[in-house]
Amino acid sequence: MRVLITGVAGFIGSNLAAALVAEGHRVDGVDNLSQGSLLNLESLRGSPRFTFTEADVLDERTLVECARGADALYHLAAYKIPRYGSASQTLTINLVGCGNAIRAAQTSGAHLIYASTSDVYGKNPACPFSEDDDLVIGPPQVRRWAYALSKAVGEQHIFAAAADSPFPFTVVRFFGGYGPGQHLSWWGGPQAVFINNVIDGEPLTLHGTGLQTRSFTYIDDHVAALVRIPAVAASRGEVINLGSDEEVTIRDLAERIWRLMKPGESPRLTLVPYETFGRYEDVQRRVPNNAKARRLLGVAPEWSLDRGLPATIAWQLARRRHVDQRA
């Protein structure tokens, strides 16, 4: 195949690109490097099957041009929950970027694989979440819902565009990815911040009570599912959860990381009230029903936290040393 990946220098994009190239596919990657890093693409440097274009998904003309001849287009570029940044920026990048990806896929005939998020389930109490469950979003005064809404509207945009002018697509809802290549800030998730806290000799910072639960999915499990999708005709026109169903509290995650990095020492934890972020709401449980991924794609999560966290910690320690040496 020839594949285009937006957000290729990011966490999922870079790991997906490496896996596809290793399988013999041709990969073209697009990223504006606002959150992604060229360090994530070092293993692909010099590969004749990989090309990189520094460009923004808001640039429709460039995205359409990059997609010419592509068999599959993975649209991964996005802005996340605006905890510290601009909700307007999150909405613009995610909504306009999705529209541009749709037009690029329609022009090229590529199978569009759209990266949505588990956040779209919002405050629905019916956990674990199935793909047909209701999406329950909070009020507009709470800017954390900007991300979930932008992704939910993106899903609707894709279904509507395909109804008007059919093209192949698959929507995937990611649950808590982590592992090598993850962003080293809250952008990358709580596990990235907790590892940094330990490295820097700081207490581990938990938002709220720390008793909210999540499922964390090692990157290899996400990638294993993603590389299967273009070859599986039954995935077309579907929404598919991709994630581990191992539920853990954020507090337990923090304590596990502390024990792995500082065995024998009692964890030092700090609770940060949600009010620190202004008017804010959090989701208390987020776990997928991943039966559909098993049935359609023939994949299931293979990495437990006990296996994935040590590998992630080792990678982040090495990345921090590398970044510090370059500073």
Encoded amino acid at 51, one letter: T
**How does pLDDT run across 156-213, given as a tens digit for each residue?**
999 999 999 999 999 999 999 999 999 999 899 999 999 999 999 999 999 999 999 9
Please indicate, yes or no, if residue 116 is contained in any of the structural domains.
yes
**How does pLDDT run across 133-168, given as a tens digit for each residue?**
999 999 999 988 999 999 999 999 999 999 999 999
Longest dimension (CA), the chain: 61
CATH number for the domain including 225? 3.40.50.720
CB 219 within 8 A of CB 316: no
Please indicate, yes or no, if residue 321 is contained in any of the structural domains.
no
* Residue whose C-alpha is closest to residue 152's, from 126, 125, 114, 187: 114
Known catalytic residue at 147: yes
Sign of CA dihedral 283, 289, 292, 293: positive
pLDDT at 327 > cutoff 70? no
Domain tally, the chain: 1
Q: Give me the domain span that covers residue 29.
A: 2-181+217-245+286-303
Given 74, 114, 147, 178, the catalytic residue: 147
Please indicate, yes or no, if residue 221 is contained in any of the structural domains.
yes
Q: How far apart are CA 325 and CA 317, in angstroms?
A: 12
Q: How far apart are CA 229 and CA 101, in angstroms?
A: 17
* Full-model pTM: 0.97
**How does pLDDT run across 32-71, given as a tens digit for each residue?**
999 999 999 999 999 999 999 999 999 999 999 999 999 9
Please indicate, yes or no, if residue 49 is contained in any of the structural domains.
yes
What does the mean pLDDT of the chain come to? 96
Please indicate, yes or no, if residue 322 is contained in any of the structural domains.
no
Quick one: how far is CA 34 from the chain centroid?
A: 15
Please indicate, yes or no, if residue 139 is contained in any of the structural domains.
yes
Quick one: how far is CA 130 from the chain centroid?
A: 18
Q: pLDDT value at position 124? A: 96
**How does pLDDT run across 224-258, given as a tens digit for each residue?**
999 999 999 999 999 999 999 999 999 999 999 99
Please indicate, yes or no, if residue 292 is contained in any of the structural domains.
yes
CB 109 within 8 A of CB 64: no
Please indicate, yes or no, if residue 64 is contained in any of the structural domains.
yes
